[in-house]
Each structure stands twice: as C-alpha cells, then as structure tokens.
Chain A
Amino acid sequence: MKEGYELVYKRPSTLTDRRMSYCPGCFHSTIHKFMMEIVEEMDIQDKTVGVCPVGCSVFAYNYLDIDMQEAAHGRAAAVATGIKRVLPDRIVFSYQGDGDLAAIGTAETLHACNRGENFTFIFINNGIYGMTGGQMAPTTLDGQITSTCPYGRDVETAGMPMKMAEIISSFEKVSYVERVSCNTPANARKAKRAIRKAFEYQMEGMGTTFIEVAANCPSNWKLTPEESLKWLEEKVYPYYPLGVFRDVKKLKKEE
C-alpha cells in the first residue's frame, strides 16, 4: 500500500482469478462476491462447502475458492442435506435459480425446509430460465414475455408466479427468510447483511435459512442492465416485495 493511500476496496481472496461467464449487469457476480467476502470476513473458507446445481451458476465452482459439489437439476437441497448431515460443523449453502429451486426441485426444497435442514439457500430469482435461453420460469410475472410464453405468461393456464420467500416462511423449522435485491448500493449492502445473517444463524444451529435475491436477467429480458433495474423497480418488487419474512430470533423476542 502506497503511503497516503487507504485501502477501500479489494477483491476477496476467496474468489478465484477466473473471468466470470455471467452477462454484464447480472446480479450473479455481485452475490458471488458478497458470499466470498463473508467467507473471508468470517474466516470460514476451510469450513464452507457449496452446492451449485444446473443453471447459469452451474459454473460457480470456477469462481468460488471453496470446496463445492455440482448437483443435478433441482437436487441441490438434497445434496446439501447429505453434506450437512455428515459434516454438521461446516457451513453449507446451496446456490439455486428459480427453475431449479421452484420447478424441478420444489419437492427437495420444501422437504429440506420442513425438516429444518441447517444450511443456507441462496435463491436467485430472475423470473426466467437464463442458461437455456430465456424460457418461462415458475416465477415469471403475469404477462411477462419469454420464449415459451411469447404472448406473455397466461396465469389462467400457467398458474401464478410462485412467491417462494412467502411459502418458505411458513415452515416452522426455518429460522430466517429475507428477500433482497442489488439494484442500489443500499439494497446491495442489505443483501450482503442478509447472507451474513443467514450464515450466522446456521453456525448457531438455528435451522434452515433462506435468502431470495430478486434478480435481473438483462440478456433474456432483452433489456440493458440499467433498464433491467427499472424493470425490477416497476414490475418485480411490487409482486415480490423486499424484506424479512421470517426471523425466529425476532419471533422469540415478541413472545
């Protein structure tokens, strides 16, 4: 460090040097950075095991310098359950998209939460299938256009977009549920705080923690990164409100 200079920002040592495969403006890279900053700050690199299933983030293990398992599509919660149960003192997280967590893997997700499996879900909800090129997700908004609902999602036939944070918050053995976003620096900081809180609750053995990121997908929404942030504010947050949906520590205090 040069004299007279102050270090205000650095890449966490827990991120690899590899160039990320994510599109410009996508929140994946931001969330990756937050997770790895937390791992560095909490000094838990040797205790952290991640699970990345099929989706854009299937390559997460190329960027996160921690032990990781790649899981089959939808099966991350079951894989994370297996890891955490045999290594109960490790910090385990699954990093899943909306197709993975809320469509093909709904059973694994709900039952892991119902059992209160003591790991952290990081759920990236961008309302679309990114990796396969922009098809409808269980979380695609009413009327939103995708390649498999080219005239807009018809909720009469496709059902309503699934509010996973709200659903998950109904499970008694889930300790913390928050929906966050990264559209502004303030919200991004909140997102990081939420992930850290989830890891801390996990270390205390409080049960399942679930962080939903109301995320963007500029490429498949066919918007610029900046326009995608506007879309989030105008369309996404009104249906998927940000905030804490369950916090057992607060619930206990209220009792």
Chain B
Amino acid sequence: MAEVKLMKGNEALAEAAIRAGMQAYFGYPITPQSEVIEYLAAQEPKHDYVLIQAESELAAVNMLYGSGGAGARVMTTTSSPGFSLMQEGVSYMACAEIPCVMVNVVRGGPGLGTVQPSQGDYFQAVKGGGHGDYHVIVLGPNSVQEMVDHIYLAFELADKYRAPTLILADGAIGQMMEKVILPAPIKYEPDKPWATTGKTPDRERNILTSLYIQSEDMEQRNLKLQAKYKVILKNEIRYEEYEIEDAEYIIVAYGLCSRIAKNVVNRARDEGLKLGLFRPISLWPYPWDRIGEIADADRVKFFISVEMNAGQMVEDVKLAVCGKKPVFFFGRLGGIVPTPEETYEAIKEKIG
C-alpha cells in the first residue's frame, strides 16, 4: 500500500529500495549519506535483505559485483570520495554486464573536499569515471520524491539492460525533508538465466567476466556494449520542460539547481522576462537532441547552464546546441548552493 510521509531524502531512498525489492545492500559510512545504511540497519529485522557494512567502498562495490552476478537485486550508496574508490568495480560491472543500483550523494571536492552539496562529480558520472569505453545509466533526482521514484526506475533499468545504474543526487537532496509518496512494496522475482547460481544439467556454465585477452574478442565485447548503449540512448532519455514554449532565454539545470532555476523562472516571468527551464532527468543518456531542437527556434536567444561546480554539464549543453546559440554558465563551487538572486542577476547580466 502506498503511504504519504515526511522524510529525509536519504531515508526515503532507503525505504524505497526496500519497497522496490532490494535483496542486498553493501556500503561504507560517508557523509552526507550515512543515513541510508543506518536506516537499512534499523529496518533489517523486519525484512530479509542482506546488509553488510563493508571494510571499504572497494569491498562494497565488489560485494555488489558478486551478489548482482548471482542474480540478486542489489544496491550501494556512497558520496564522492567513496564513489571514486568504487570506480574499479563500476568499470568491471559495466563490462561483465552486472545489474546494480548505485547512489552518489555528491559532496564538494576535489580530494576530501567538504561535506556540503555539490555537482562536481558530473563528469565522473556521465563520461566514464573508471577505465575503458563504457557508460552507466545516470539519473538526476531533484526532490525527495524523485529519490524514491528513481530507485524503482533504476532497479528496472539496471535489470532491463544488465547495466550498472547510478542515481546522481547531492548532499542537499539527501539531507532535506519533504513530503513523499511511498509506492506499495513489490515482490521481486529474479528472472536472470545468465546469473551464476550453479550450473544445472540443462545449461552451459555461466561465466561473468570482463577479461577477453584476444583483441578480436575484446573488440566484439565492446561492440556489444556499444550496441546496448545505442538502444538506451534511443529509449531512456528523460527530461522536464518548464515555461519553454515561448522562452527566449533558457536555463539548463539538473538536480537541486533545477529547483533554484524554477524559482528564478517564476520571478523572471513576474517581471515579464521570457525565461524557461530545461531540466535533464537522465544525465546519461543526455537529452542532446531535444536541446538541439529548442536551439533551432528563432525566438531562443541563449542558454545558460546553472550548476554547483566549475562548469561540467555546460559541455553537454554546448554539444547539444552545436554553436546555434550562445551557451553561458553560472555556478558556485566548494559546496555552496547558488541563490536565486545571484542566479537571476547572472542571467540579467548576460541579457544586458
């Protein structure tokens, strides 16, 4: 049965994972997302999922590899420095095609950085992170409700494409409390004939590996992955448009920044300024084509990417706009959340 509650983002995410049929969780405490493992530990006696506080993020991600490969619905959560440690496992899982859900509640970096919210891990999330030619599916929630909805979606996408799927949140989404509708729990029945569950007489042995020592075999493996990514690009692009129809100036923002941007759009509209918001929800695959279409409209004068970093997603916006219109950037760094006021000022300055 669905339920309405007031919940913290991290706890809502944990509750959603339980309801979405998560069978195993592996993690290591790190601010600002430790509430996830704490919540799961408190709820554990009422459910039958596996929970291990691993000795490191490196161990956690490899437990994810093993259990995901054994066919279970599995999850880990971490924050930036921890996700850096996990990159080895992410690359291996992408190649061995092991479905799993990972959550990075991003904090400011580089290095140990700060525990305050940031979007500084965008490049790491969407352009690779680990070694080799691979992508993970990346979702960017902007509310506590989406922390919940994206968990269900992420498990579905991970299983559907046999692909590691990442929820790229940030410290603010993880820490803030909002009203949330928790969907009814689902009973998850794994249907994974490729999983390593023990070779029965009716089938060949199942092997999960990322090792193809002959170059020809490795190329074939890569081509298989690339073909899968093409299908994902075709089917799984998600975005939200707000006041775009007649907009002359367009903010592009995801996650927490999209909430701020919406506020700015409303203020601008009150003053008669035709500002709109384009919010990518899937960060990989990115809605390049849709942004390109918007850029074609004569009324559109420029785009401005608003981010909590030094300008990362703005590169994808430029790629999408392809020189058709100017693309600007406004952002704050080091864990500082841009205010609507300073964001609006930055936009007005560009309008001139």
Contacts and interface: CB of A to CB of B under 8 A. Distances in A.
Q: How many B residues touch the partner, as a band?
A: 35 or more
Q: Considering residues A80, A82, A87, which has the most beta carbons from chain B within 10 angstroms of its beta carbon?
A: A82
Nearest to B194: A67
Contact of B205 (A59, A68, A115): A68
Interface in B188-218: 196-201, 205-211
Contacts of A90: 197-198
B66 A107 contact: no
Contacts of B6: none
Given A45-B198, A82-B26, A69 B56 contact: no
A69 B55 contact: no
Interface stretch (B88-96, B112-120, B163-171, B304-312): B88-96
Given A69-B69, A70-B96, A72-B92, A79 B62 contact: yes
B59 A67 contact: no
Nearest to B196: A67
A111 interface: yes
B205 A70 contact: no
A87 B66 CA distance: 10
Interface in A69-105: 69-72, 75, 78-87, 90
A78 B74 CA distance: 14
Interface residues of A, number: 33
Given A83-B69, A87-B70, A107-B56, A67 B198 contact: yes
A206 interface: no
A69 to B, nearest CB: 5
A30 B89 CA distance: 31
14 contacts: A49-B196, A66-B199, A69-B196, A70-B207, A71-B62, A72-B92, A75-B62, A75-B89, A78-B62, A81-B52, A82-B70, A85-B63, A86-B67, A108-B58
Pairs A-B, 3 closest by C-beta atoms: A82-B66, A78-B62, A82-B67
